[in-house]
Amino acid sequence: METCLLDSFSHGTDCFLFREARAKVNYDSPNEIRRVIESLGISLKPRWGQNFLINRGARNRFLELICPETSDTVWEIGPGLGCLTAELLPRVNSLLVFEIDWGMVRFLEQIFANERLLISQGDALKTWKAALERHGLPDKVVGNLPYRSASAIIGSFADAALAPARMVFTVQRELARRITASPGGKNYSSFSVCCQYAYVIREVFQLKPGSFYPAPEVTSSAILLEPRRHCCPAKDRQLFSRLVRDLFRSRRKTIKNNILGSSLLEEYGREKLLTAVREEGINLSARSEELQVEQFVSLANRILKLQYI
């Protein structure tokens, strides 16, 4: 469900009180955050990854990375009580925030009296495509992503070729290692390949648990994603994604064995798939984590070409 704040301000005194609350909220103070949450009657849910960024320096760095401009349309995923929202609103043309917690939604509706703010209530993973269809491609995307769904959100963006000018996210350090992993490493996976095909990705800085309230048990990382331009792109994005996932299905198996167990076998046939691998100069006895992103792309394109022979 999406709401426009111009339609939300019919609560009289409640509205005034919430706006007063905004002026008094110290987003750097755990005690203040706790006070606001308790006053709203909100019970934090670990599965939603509700850890609020209380590090002002980190917030400022986020703003520097996202480079908000007055002409920008921006998406924010997981605004919480609005610490980044408050900084972004005066700097951009419009802001759409995705928030799953109804209590947070009501708070945001009341304190941000700004026609440039839209709120999409619900799970961002399930609602972003509808938002894209309704509002078009955003210029920037930013978010303190829930740890449990961060990989699914970023992966869905990559699979759909969502390409804003830049995206800046806070993720678990372990996920940052996976998404930026190089071939040959233990963290290199189908997720790494698909994301690195779609984006140029950089881990910019790390955040200790104390940067958040409540403090998580792990270190977090800020990552920057920008669209990758290809001289030889995948001609069939779905085929590319399927091939990558099939080749990483069993990491301990060779490329040949993963090919023979591939979901592509019925469509393309055993001989065509093995021929494509050989013609690419790829060792059938090697393992998928040894291949560069470009090799997966080239192999997918060759398989597509062999389909018509």
Q: Is 232 a member of any domain?
A: no
Q: What is the CATH number of the domain that holds 277?
A: 1.10.8.100
Q: 198 and 254, same structural domain?
A: no
Q: What percent of the chain shows pLDDT beyond 70?
A: 91
What value does the mean pLDDT of the chain take? 91
Q: 248 and 127, same structural domain?
A: no
* Sheet containing 166-172, strands listed edge to edge, beginning at the edge strand earlier in sequence: 2-4, 117-121, 94-99, 73-77, 140-144, 166-172, 220-227, 199-207
Nearest of 230, 252, 254, 250 to residue 240 by alpha carbon: 230
* pLDDT mean over 123-136: 97
Q: 264 and 160, same structural domain?
A: no
Q: Which residues pair with 197 in a beta bridge?
A: none
For the cut 80, the answer to whether the pLDDT of residue 135 exceeds it is yes
Q: 182 and 105, same structural domain?
A: yes
Give the span between the Cα atoms of 128 and 42, in whole angstroms: 24
Nearest of 223, 217, 221 to residue 46 by alpha carbon: 217
Q: 211 and 103, same structural domain?
A: yes
How do residues 4-22 score in pLDDT, each as one tens digit?
543 443 343 344 444 445 4
Domain extent, residue 273, equals 237-306
How do residues 149-187 score in pLDDT, each as one tens digit?
999 999 999 999 999 999 999 999 999 999 999 999 999
Query: Which token pair is 299?
Result: 């192999």
Single residue among 172, 195, 227 that ends a domain in this structure: 227
For the cut 50, the answer to whether the pLDDT of residue 66 exceeds it is yes
For the cut 80, the answer to whether the pLDDT of residue 275 exceeds it is yes
